[in-house]
Each structure stands twice: as structure tokens, then as C-alpha cells.
């Protein structure tokens, strides 16, 4: 057997690793027998040289084998989940999970924390005072059976390899890799005990995959791995060339999601994408055609049943319902600054990566493993792509507890906006369906 050093070297030089080598590296790192610096080198070598199909499958399998695969067969009903490859302002899971549950699909959702410039569902949920995302598998199953959905972080038992590697990738610029994203997402999803999975593969300047061809390749890998494990999987390529909705930031994304669930938001992109992905989950689980599933989802959202499910889930996971019912009672950030336009025209482009990084620097994400995120740090996007702007108009509002960070974010946001003289054509939100 090669040593960790030799395995890193082999990968660095672009060679394929054997199943034993991959398994050894994943197992020993997870057990704490290999240091972070060797795992970081391994990740960077993989980032640059990639993996073969066999290696991706083996890496996923090895990661899964560090934890348990949850058996949900004693809980009646179809189980499905959705996972996004990561975006800015992407709060779809917070709305979709209760909405799908309200439509009769059981949703056992295991999510991640912020990764690179993107936000994470777990950080968002943990901004709700008292909300617990860590729980035993017994409790995870109990909440799922009782409420119809559960939204948790990776427990000690569920793919601990990904928990460690994910945190390391977050701070070592090794996220944007098809093998690493495929194995990270699929190892978690295949361990949850689901029957069906909908993948939201983001593409654009705020996504890990900037080109459609790369996003398509990633989607196809994930669908293939899912099918090899006997799951029903559909992937959508969706636009991430501007933030989704208006809010970026952990608590503010919870509030925006609550507004959608209560029917108090007009955010067409969030509502449209959530309804489509939820309908796909319903359709995969019931066999109902997508059009009729979509109608049912729309009706359920309008009825408020999704909001009631969200409240049930927050209650079951220990969260404070008072702040959900009255978001105005939540603690306020110390600094709220406006980013104003210095030019006029139409918003033709927003550097979404730059805006996501501005949120990280405000405290909404992490600079190093173990950093705490600030729940109230965030950005409200006032002007979206295609909108008209005059000199002095507010492009975005920045919230932070640190004055100098807020000022730096304002500068970064202003330079993230590209204006043009004529109205841009705009990009389609839903680009492709792959099943
Ligand atoms: N989401 C994950 O869980 N892992 C990734 O690598 C990217 C997005």
C-alpha cells in the first residue's frame, strides 16, 4: 500500500488511484490519522488533475462507508430530497422542503454550511434562535415520521468524511471540482435513505460551474451515480448569474423564505424555481405528470400549508417561533450602509461571485475552519439584472456588525455592477432538465 505522501504524489501527477488507495486516504483522514495539510494537498491535486469515472464512484463509496446509510423503510411514504450545487441568495431548500412535505412527500434533508462564496442551509437555519441542526439518527427519523420533514446537518454518523473535507474545501479554494462536488453531494444524499432526488445544478458567474458544458457534465455525473444506487434522479441546470431573490445573508434569507411561504413575497425567480423543483420531487415520488404536480404545488403554497409545515419543523427542532412569526423582533446589525450607483444605465451584469465574497467578508461566511458566522450580516439586492438605474440610486444595502467591513463591502458591491446603455436580453432561469 502506498503512503499518504505517495498517494498525493500519484494524484498530483495525473494518475488514477486504485480503490484501495482512495479508501485508505478517505478512511485515515476521517479517523484523524492524516493531517489537514495532507488532505488539503490531496484536494488541490484532485482539483487540478481530476478523477476518472471509476475514481469518482469509488470516492463517493469510500466517503459513504465512513458513516451509516440511514434506513427509512419503517417510515411509510415516498422520501425525496433536493440539493443545490451552491449559489448566492439560494434559499430554495428552506421553502421547498416544507412545501414538498405539505404535498405528501417525506423530506429527510441533510444540508451543508456555507461553502466558498456561497451560503449554506445549515448556517441559515442556525440563525433561528434555539434551532438544532445536529441530532442523532433516532431523532432525525422521529422528526421525519412526525412532521414529514427534517432539516439537519451531517451528524457524526452521516458521511463524517464529507463533513471534514467540506470544511477544508471551504477555506482552501478547492470547491470548484466536478469529482469533489459529485462525491460530496452524492455521498450525503445516498446516505439519507431517500427514494428520489432532484439536483439544482447552478451555472453562471455565482456558481461553482461557470460554463453550461461543465454544469451539464457535473449534472450527468451526479445523475449517473444516483441511478447506480437505484435512486430516481433528475437534475436541472439553473441560472446563477445574479443572486436569487433579494436577500443574501443567513437570517435575512430565512425571512425572505418565510415571506414566500406566507404569500407575502413577489420574488418571481424564487417562487418559480421552488415550485418547479418541488413539483419534480412530487412527480418522481408519485408518478404524477409534472404539469399536474406543479398545479398541486402552487395550490399548496397559496393555501399556507407549506408555512404551517415550516412552523412545525422549526418547533420540532427547537427553534424560536416568535421570531419567525415576527421577524422584526430579531436583533439588528449595528451598521446598515447603502451602495449607491455612480453611473446610470441598465444593470447588464452582476459579479455574483464578488457579491457572495462580500457577504463572506461581512461575517456571513467563514475565512477559516471553525469561524463563527454572523447571522445578521448580509446584503439586500435592490437592483437586479435588467433594471434601470440612475446616478445615486441604491444598488444594494449592506448589513454588518463591523463598520470597516461594511464600508469595504459597499465598495465591492458597487464594482460588481456592470451597467449598459440599453436593456440587456437577460438569461433564462431554467436552462435544462437532465434525467
Ligand atoms: N454542496 C455540497 O454539499 N458539496 C459541494 O461540494 C458543493 C455543494
Among 77, 129, 76, residue whose Cα is nearest residue 103: 77
Choosing from 152, 175, 179 the residue with most ligand 1 atoms within 8 A of its CB, the one to mutate for a pocket test is: 175
Give the pLDDT score at 267. Answer: 92
pLDDT-based confidence at 368, cuts 50/70/90?
Answer: confident
Which contiguous run of DSSP H or E holds residue 247? Answer: strand 247-248
* Ligand 1 atom nearest to CA at 180: 6
Q: Pick the residue whose CA is nearest to atom 6 on ligand 1.
A: 181
Lowest mean pLDDT among 162-166, 296-300, 333-337: 162-166
Please indicate, yes or no, whether residues 301 and 170 belong to a single structural domain of this protein. yes
Please indicate, yes or no, whether residues 146 and 235 belong to a single structural domain of this protein. yes
Give the pLDDT score at 133. Answer: 97
* Ligand 1 atom nearest to CA at 86: 8
The overall average pLDDT reported for the chain is 96
Q: Would 55 be classed as within a structural domain?
A: no
Please indicate, yes or no, whether residues 309 and 207 belong to a single structural domain of this protein. yes
Q: Would 432 be classed as within a structural domain?
A: no
Q: Would 221 be classed as within a structural domain?
A: yes
Q: Is the pLDDT of residue 427 over 90?
A: no
Q: Is the pLDDT of residue 121 over 90?
A: yes
Please indicate, yes or no, whether residues 216 and 108 belong to a single structural domain of this protein. yes
Helix (H) and strand (E) counts in the chain:
17, 13
325-360 in b/e burial notation, b at 16+ Cβ within 10 A? eeeeebeebebebebbbeeebbbbbbbbbbbbbbbb
CB atoms within 10 A of CB 299: 11
Scanning 112-267, the segments in alpha helix (DSSP H) are 121-125, 137-147, 160-172, 178-191, 212-228, 250-261
CATH of the domain at 380: 3.90.1170.30
Cα of 211 to ligand 1 centre, how many Å?
17
Please indicate, yes or no, whether residues 218 and 303 belong to a single structural domain of this protein. yes
Under a CB-based contact definition with an 8 Å cutoff, are residues 373 and 123 in contact? yes
252-265 pLDDT per residue, tens: 999 999 999 999 99
Please indicate, yes or no, whether residues 404 and 306 belong to a single structural domain of this protein. no
Which cell numbers in the block locate residue 425?
A: 436580453
Ligand 1 neighbours, Cβ below 6 Å, are 85-86, 112, 115, 175, 180-181, 184-185
Q: Pick the residue whose CA is nearest to atom 5 on ligand 1.
A: 181
Q: Is the pLDDT of residue 370 over 90?
A: no
Q: Which residue has the cell 427514494?
A: 195
Q: Distance of alpha carbon 415 from its chain centroid, rounded?
A: 25
Number of domains forming the structure of the chain: 3
Please indicate, yes or no, whether residues 390 and 254 belong to a single structural domain of this protein. no
Which cell numbers in the block locate residue 213?
A: 458544458
Q: Which residue has the cell 435575512?
A: 252
% of the chain exceeding 90 in pLDDT = 95
pLDDT-based confidence at 156, cuts 50/70/90?
Answer: confident
234-249 pLDDT per residue, tens: 999 999 999 999 999 9
Which contiguous run of DSSP H or E holds residue 414? Answer: helix 403-416
Q: What is the arithmetic mean of pLDDT over 332-336?
A: 98
The range of the structural domain enclosing residue 32 comes to 4-50
Q: Which of 275, 297, 325 is the last residue of a domain?
A: 325
DSSP letter assigned to residue 279: H
Active site residues: 83, 162, 169, 184, 188
Give the pLDDT score at 161. Answer: 95
N- to C-terminal Cα separation, the chain: 39
CATH of the domain at 302: 3.40.1030.10
Choosing from 64, 86, 167, 178 the residue with most ligand 1 atoms within 8 A of its CB, the one to mutate for a pocket test is: 86
198-212 pLDDT per residue, tens: 999 999 999 999 999
Q: Which of 325, 356, 388 is the last residue of a domain?
A: 325
Among positive and negative, which fits the CA dihedral 427, 428, 430, 432? negative
Cα separation, 253 vs 87, whole angstroms: 13
- Tally of residues, the chain: 435
pLDDT-based confidence at 266, cuts 50/70/90?
Answer: confident
Cα of 275 to ligand 1 centre, how many Å?
22
Under a CB-based contact definition with an 8 Å cutoff, are residues 389 and 345 in contact? yes
Give the pLDDT score at 65. Answer: 96
Q: In this structure, what are the phi and psi dihedrals at residue 350, rounded to the nearest 5 degrees?
A: -125, 125
Q: What is the arithmetic mean of pLDDT over 211-237?
A: 96
Q: What is the arithmetic mean of pLDDT over 26-38?
A: 98
Q: Which of 303, 325, 347 is the last residue of a domain?
A: 325
Q: Is the pLDDT of residue 380 over 90?
A: yes
Give the pLDDT score at 426. Answer: 85
Q: Is the pLDDT of residue 369 over 90?
A: no
Give the pLDDT score at 148. Answer: 98
392-402 pLDDT per residue, tens: 999 999 999 99
CA distances from 167 to 28, 89, 381, 384, 415 (A): 17, 20, 28, 31, 29
Q: Is the pLDDT of residue 115 over 90?
A: no
Bridge partners of 235, per DSSP, are 199, 434
Under a CB-based contact definition with an 8 Å cutoff, are residues 377 and 343 in contact? no
Q: Pick the residue whose CA is nearest to atom 8 on ligand 1.
A: 85
273-285 pLDDT per residue, tens: 999 999 999 999 9
Give Cβ neighbours of residue 271 (< 8 Å, ≥ 6 apart). Answer: 260, 265, 301
Please indicate, yes or no, whether residues 224 and 122 belong to a single structural domain of this protein. yes
Cα of 142 to ligand 1 centre, how many Å?
26
Which cell numbers in the block locate residue 381?
A: 439586492
Cα of 235 to ligand 1 centre, how many Å?
15
Cα separation, 393 vs 432, whole angstroms: 35
Cα of 162 to ligand 1 centre, how many Å?
9
Pairing mode, strands 107-110 and 149-152: parallel
Give the pLDDT score at 1. Answer: 87
pLDDT-based confidence at 37, cuts 50/70/90?
Answer: very high
Please indicate, yes or no, whether residues 313 and 373 belong to a single structural domain of this protein. no
Q: What is the arithmetic mean of pLDDT over 9-16?
A: 98
Please indicate, yes or no, whether residues 110 and 12 belong to a single structural domain of this protein. no
Q: Is the pLDDT of residue 57 over 90?
A: yes
CB atoms within 10 A of CB 22: 26
Q: What is the arithmetic mean of pLDDT over 95-115?
A: 96
Among 307, 304, 280, residue whose Cα is nearest residue 292: 280
Give the pLDDT score at 155. Answer: 81
For the chain, the helix, strand and coil percentages under 3-state DSSP, each to the nearest 5:
50, 15, 35
Q: Pick the residue whose CA is nearest to atom 2 on ligand 1.
A: 185
Give the pLDDT score at 154. Answer: 86
Please indicate, yes or no, whether residues 143 and 216 belong to a single structural domain of this protein. yes
Q: Would 13 be classed as within a structural domain?
A: yes
Under a CB-based contact definition with an 8 Å cutoff, are residues 177 and 50 in contact? yes
Please indicate, yes or no, whether residues 98 and 172 belong to a single structural domain of this protein. yes
Q: Would 427 be classed as within a structural domain?
A: no
Amino acid at each position: 500500500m502506498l503512503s499518504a505522501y505517495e498517494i498525493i504524489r500519484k494524484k498530483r501527477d495525473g494518475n488514477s488511484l486504485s480503490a484501495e488507495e482512495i479508501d485508505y486516504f478517505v478512511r485515515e483522514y476521517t479517523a484523524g490519522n492524516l493531517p489537514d495539510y495532507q488532505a488539503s494537498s490531496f484536494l488541490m491535486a484532485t482539483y487540478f488533475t481530476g478523477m476518472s469515472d471509476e475514481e469518482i464512484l469509488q470516492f463517493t463509496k469510500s466517503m459513504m462507508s465512513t458513516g451509516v446509510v440511514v434506513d427509512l423503510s419503517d417510515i411509510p411514504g415516498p422520501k425525496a430530497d433536493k440539493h443545490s450545487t451552491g449559489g448566492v441568495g439560494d434559499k430554495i431548500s428552506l421553502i421547498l422542503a416544507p412545501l414538498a412535505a405539505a404535498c405528501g412527500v417525506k423530506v429527510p434533508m441533510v444540508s451543508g454550511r456555507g461553502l466558498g462564496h456561497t451560503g449554506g442551509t445549515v448556517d441559515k437555519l442556525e440563525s433561528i434562535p434555539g434551532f438544532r441542526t445536529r441530532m442523532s439518527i433516532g431523532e432525525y427519523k422521529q422528526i421525519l415520521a412526525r412532521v414529514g420533514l427534517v432539516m439537519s446537518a451531517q451528524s457524526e454518523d452521516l458521511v463524517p468524511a464529507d463533513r471534514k473535507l467540506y470544511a477544508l474545501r471551504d477555506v482552501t479554494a478547492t470547491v470548484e471540482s466536478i469529482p469533489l462536488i459529485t462525491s460530496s453531494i452524492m455521498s450525503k444524499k445516498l446516505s439519507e435513505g431517500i427514494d428520489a432526488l432532484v439536483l439544482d445544478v447552478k451555472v453562471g458567474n455565482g456558481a461553482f460551474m461557470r460554463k453550461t458544458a461543465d454544469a451539464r457534465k457535473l449534472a450527468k455525473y451526479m445523475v449517473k451515480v444516483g441511478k447506480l444506487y437505484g435512486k430516481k434522479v433528475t437534475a436541472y441546470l439553473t441560472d446563477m448569474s445574479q443572486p436569487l431573490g433579494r436577500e443574501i445573508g443567513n437570517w435575512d434569507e430565512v425571512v425572505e423564505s418565510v415571506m414566500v411561504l406566507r404569500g407575502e413575497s413577489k420574488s418571481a425567480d424564487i417562487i418559480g424555481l421552488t415550485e418547479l423543483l418541488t413539483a419534480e420531487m412530487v412527480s418522481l415520488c408519485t408518478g404524477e405528470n409534472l404539469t399536474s404536480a406543479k398545479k398541486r404545488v402552487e395550490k399548496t403554497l397559496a393555501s399556507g400549508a407549506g408555512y404551517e409545515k415550516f412552523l412545525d419543523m422549526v418547533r420540532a427542532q427547537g427553534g424560536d417561533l416568535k421570531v419567525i412569526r415576527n421577524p422584526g423582533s430579531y436583533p439588528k446589525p449595528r451598521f446598515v450602509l447603502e451602495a449607491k450607483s455612480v453611473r446610470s444605465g441598465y444593470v447588464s451584469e452582476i459579479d455574483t461571485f464578488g457579491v457572495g465574497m462580500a457577504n463572506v467578508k461581512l461575517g456571513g461566511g467563514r475565512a477559516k475552519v471553525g469561524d463563527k458566522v454572523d447571522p445578521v450580516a448580509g446584503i439586500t439586492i435592490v437592483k437586479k439584472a435588467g433594471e434601470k438605474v440612475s446616478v445615486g440610486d441604491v444598488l444594494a444595502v449592506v448589513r454588518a456588525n463591523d463598520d470597516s467591513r461594511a464600508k469595504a463591502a459597499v465598495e465591492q458591491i458597487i464594482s460588481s455592477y456592470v451597467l449598459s446603455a440599453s436593456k440587456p436580453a437577460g438569461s433564462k432561469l431554467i436552462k435544462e432538465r437532465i434525467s
